[in-house]
Chains A and B, each alone.
Chain A
Amino acid sequence: MSSRDEKLKILGHRTLIIILVNLLAFFFIVARLYYLQIFEADKYRTMSDENRISTRFLVPPRGTIYDRNGVVIAKNEQEFQALLLAEQTPDVSQTLQKFKNIIKLSGDEENKIDAELKKHRHFIPIKLKGNLPWDEVSKIMLNAPDLPGIEINEGLSRRYPYADLYAHVLGYVGPVAEQDKKDSPIYMVPGFKIGKSGLEKSLDYKLQGHGGTVKLEVNAFGRVMKEIERNAGSIGDSVQISIDTRLQQAAYQAFGENSGAAVVLDVHSGEILALVSTPSFDPNLFTNGISYKNWNELLNNERKPLVNKAVSGQYSPGSTFKIVVALAALEAGVIDANTRYYCAGAMEISGSRFHCWRHAGHGPQNVVEALKNSCDIFFYETALRVGIDKIHNMALRLGLGQPLDVGLDNQKNGLIPSQQWKKTVKDAVWTKGDSANAGIGQGYVLITPLHLATMLARVVNGGYAITPTLLKTTPQTAQKAKFLNIPQRYIEIVKQGMFEVVNAPGGTAARAKFNYNGAKMGGKTGTTQVRRISMKERKSGIIRDENLPWRLRNHALFIGFTPIDEPRYAVAVVVEHGSSGSGVAAPIASQILQKALELDIR
């Protein structure tokens, strides 16, 4: 064999080995292909989807709120926004200039847009202006060819059709603040609003609904390529509240310019038929963020429109508290219907002089007369005899000084003092003077209008411990009110007193009486000082209220119910610095109750 043949032979053998190695390498690749594409396919398919699918949350429409008759009082309204997609316009600043020629932008708004443009990538839409009225929307649409990259987006915004009428009941919604953030991812979604006060806040979870999701296909840079799947979520539950809008309007208007609060209750169900606090504000201002100017105005107003006086305002009940004192004394057997005390206009208690509001005195008074005339001397005597602790117990049974949660913010409990309370809180012994003051609803005693209305309702409904609620009750949800075990005859005595306050000649609220198809009003006035009257002033003659600055004038209170025989409605009215319970508060209560009768709210 020649050298060349041998070389060829070796080359042939070695080539076969090389081919074999090549085949092995291909087999190796095929095995790897099988491993990746078959064996581990599921794992990589998931990873591929995670890569390309971006899940975003959709803001669910908030539940509607209705009044007791199905009138819409909080709803979602379509809102139009102008958005700019920077990547779809050849020249952003030129397009913005054209937009500004059509729609006016404030300096603040322009700065915000500039900041957003810098912050986001060019395919993320930027809000140019929200809350566009229809004529501006049509202007933008008309000029669409000149405005490349600008589009109109429809969103939902919370709307309160009755504006200030329900501000303190419904509250308002606003963007999620840092401290509101909870675990749920929906709270992180831009544009999601939550209840910030009122029922919007306490019923927030119910009203929120469930956020939907939309699955979007995104590329490696996060740009949205297409929508893959949409789960619309569900609208929040609607809520029907107990208030009657017509009565609410009547109550609100009855206050006129006055600052104060009124609460109307159905005495049997405990449903709040009206709850107003004046002055009020427009909650719609808050939906898209309130301006600094508006906010400051609300904050600095002397009459405190942001405070819900019906549940947060604590006042001395004044003579309206005499109802509680009378019932406590009757139940304790300290007095009966015929017990009379002589009113000489003033009396000495532990060395101090206690005056009746009527300097001349009322002469001998029984409990009914004392209520009718609002005689202070009678109730000093009664309070001294029955003692503060029995009054305290009766007040608590009637709902005073107790938490009455109706789902509003900053609800106050008021204060009903006792010997124990004074010892613990004031570190002092309860005095006779304290009892006398408590007997006419002054001193330490504090109530809110809601508490006062609840107290009256529990008395006139025959002694059943209804609890106030802002939600409309159905026969299924109606509360079984506990009987307070107050003998009916005592309640009748007190009711007789309240009847005469309004309907007897010389009753303190006689001017407010009405007869609506036979239905009359019973009630009790209250006028409480907000300043101390010095001995010197008392001698030289007390300054007449109308000569004092507004903030020093007396608070005017009235609690009333109707009809007399089978009471249905109870109202508590507080007019801040209204001077006179009989002159200012009682007429407002009278108007409200007549309206309730006229509407025949059930």
Chain B
Amino acid sequence: MRYNSLDNRKDSIYGKLQRLSISYILLIVLLALIGTLTLYSAANGSWEPWAIRHISRFALAFALMPGLALIDVRQYYKYAYLFYFMTLLLLVAVEVSGHIGMGAQRWINLGFFKIQPSELMKIGMVLFIARYFSAITIQGIHAIRGIIIPVVMALLPVGLIILEPDLGTAIMLLLTAAVMLFAVGVQWWKFALVAVLIAATLPIGWNFLHEYQQNRVLTFLDPERDPLGAGYHIIQSKIAFGSGGLLGKGFLHGTQSHLNFLPEKHTDFIFTMFSEEFGMLGGLFLLFINLLVLLMGYLFAFRTRNYFARLVIIGLNTNYFLYIFINIAMVMGLLPVVGVPLPLISYGGTVMFSIMASFGIILCMSIHRDSSGNFDDD
């Protein structure tokens, strides 16, 4: 990451490419490769059906990532609201078609491609909040009326996504919004107040949860409640972790996963499978790589003088952190099973594209770190 002081060259493609963080990109590639190998093992040593698709999807997403990184940061700022509202519209569309059709509906089928608006919203909401706060004063942030709009704009999609129902994504969105509000300087006591209010209304909210969601929470609180039913996943997952020990059972030798005791080993429980085969040392290594990616993101945030860019990075980084933490805490029995995959490792197209998009945007923010502070002033 060499610093280029030549102002007149800073907006050229060449200059931007020079400012791309090679080590950040390499870490992302490393994670995708680890994911591919783990999926190879999950299929009992076969590229089919997961590993080959995983790596091809990554390749495609990786090719698109520079496109997102090289777009001028002003464009993100300019279209932030539009993007947010378009995505919100899609969410409503999903909800409406879900009512017309049967059961849970998360996709919009464009024929050749299926998009999941809730994934788009993770980016859309970050852009919205970032733009909103970069435009208002410190007094505005501290005032109640100053934060009404972003709170409403966060709660709208969260409500829609809960209705889908996709509790995991809804929680992630909510937490991302909360962290961003915290980052811009909303007072501590406001968070405390909301926390108290939530705690007070929790028993009422409980009744609004679907029965399977209630079961997940109950099972999380006591896995032995239903060891062959809902608790089976988490018990088998803990057995896989524990029996892996310090050094693991070896690549392709995880008995819990290969003998099918471990459910969803290629999606939500992939970290379990990885830790069974590579032990605690392997698990620590994977955590360390993820932590590095996270910390580099924050480093980019500190390097930029642009408020919007910095807040976008914090939002997207928080989203990434929540993926990792919720997924891993969930498979280790620290959180209820809510269906959150591990980015770049778990099999699944939507998360792959949305997380790669978010890395692309983080890189963009990093490249344009010297852009002037507030685009409205320009």
A residues with CB within 8 A of B: 3-4, 6-8, 10-12, 14-15, 17-19, 22-23, 25-26, 28-30, 32-34, 36-38, 40-41, 43-45, 47-49, 51-52, 217-221, 225
Contacts and interface: CB of A to CB of B under 8 A. Distances in A.
A40 B242 contact: yes
A89 B46 CA distance: 24
A217 B241 contact: no
Contacts of B294: 22
B34 interface: no
A28 B321 CA distance: 14
A45 B243 contact: yes
B6 interface: no
13 contacts: A3-B138, A6-B138, A8-B305, A22-B321, A29-B328, A36-B242, A37-B275, A38-B280, A41-B246, A44-B240, A44-B242, A220-B259, A220-B260
A221 B305 CA distance: 58
A200 B374 CA distance: 99
A36 B259 contact: no
Contact of B184 (A14, A30, A220): A14
B8 interface: no
A45 B287 CA distance: 23
B325 interface: yes
Contacts, number: 140
Given A14-B185, A30-B287, A7 B259 contact: no
A445 B302 CA distance: 116
Given A18-B183, A44-B241, A218-B259, A11 B279 contact: no
Query: 8 shortest A-B CB distances, which residue pairs?
Result: A44-B242, A48-B243, A219-B259, A10-B185, A220-B260, A37-B280, A36-B241, A41-B245
B185 A51 contact: no
Contact of A37 (B133, B241, B321, B373): B241
B332 A36 contact: yes
B198 to A, nearest CB: 18
A15 B243 contact: no
Contacts of A33: 241, 275, 280, 283-284, 287, 332
Given A29-B287, A37-B283, A47-B239, A15 B255 contact: no
A217 B259 contact: yes
A48 B242 contact: yes
Secondary structure at the B interface, as helix, strand, loop or mixed, is: helix
B242 A8 contact: no
A573 to B, nearest CB: 67
B261 interface: yes
Given A18-B318, A19-B298, A52-B259, A10 B138 contact: yes
Contacts of B283: 33, 37
B364 interface: no
A3 B139 CA distance: 9
B185 A11 contact: yes
Contacts of A11: 183-185, 307, 310-311, 314
B245 A14 contact: no
A263 B233 CA distance: 70
B178 to A, nearest CB: 11
Given A7-B138, A15-B314, A18-B318, 9 more contacts: A7-B141, A7-B185, A7-B307, A11-B183, A25-B321, A29-B334, A33-B284, A33-B332, A219-B259
A249 to B, nearest CB: 58
Contact of B284 (A25, A28, A30, A36): A30
A25 B332 CA distance: 13
B291 interface: yes
A48 B183 contact: no
Given A33-B283, A38-B245, A219-B260, A48 B184 contact: no
Nearest to B299: A19
Contacts of A52: 255-256, 259, 261
B295 interface: yes
B329 interface: yes
Interface residues of B, number: 51
B301 A15 contact: yes
B239 A48 contact: yes
A41 B302 contact: no
Interface in B225-283: 236, 238-246, 255-256, 258-261, 275, 279-280, 283
A38 B373 contact: no
Contacts of A3: 137-138
Nearest to B305: A8
A10 B184 contact: yes
B179 interface: yes
Given A29-B328, A36-B241, A37-B279, A51 B255 contact: yes
A49 to B, nearest CB: 8
Given A10-B185, A14-B183, A51-B239, A217 B255 contact: yes
Contacts of A41: 242-246
B238 A36 contact: yes
B182 interface: yes
Contact of B238 (A7, A14, A18, A44): A44
Contacts of A19: 295, 298
Contacts of A30: 284, 287
A10 B298 CA distance: 15
Contacts of A37: 241-242, 244-246, 275, 279-280, 283
A29 B333 CA distance: 11
Contact of B260 (A6, A25, A217, A221): A221
Contacts of B240: 44, 48
A47 B182 contact: no
A544 B334 CA distance: 100
Contacts of A25: 321, 325
B280 A4 contact: no
A8 B185 CA distance: 10
B274 to A, nearest CB: 12
A225 B241 CA distance: 22
A29 B272 CA distance: 13
**A7, A28, A32, A51, most chain B CB atoms within 10 A:** A7
B374 A4 contact: yes
Contacts of A28: 329, 334
Contacts of B246: 37-38, 41
Contacts of B259: 51-52, 217-220, 225
A51 B261 contact: yes
A220 B279 contact: no
A211 to B, nearest CB: 26
A32 B242 contact: no
A39 to B, nearest CB: 9
Contacts of A34: 280
Interface in B323-342: 325, 328-329, 332, 334
Contacts of A23: 291
Nearest to B242: A44
A18 B328 CA distance: 19
A45 B183 contact: no
**A6, A10, A12, most chain B CB atoms within 10 A:** A10
Given A33-B332, A38-B245, A44-B243, A18 B314 contact: yes
A51 B238 CA distance: 13
B247 to A, nearest CB: 10
A254 to B, nearest CB: 66
A8 B243 CA distance: 48
Contact of B239 (A8, A26, A29, A44): A44
A36 B235 CA distance: 12
B256 A48 contact: yes
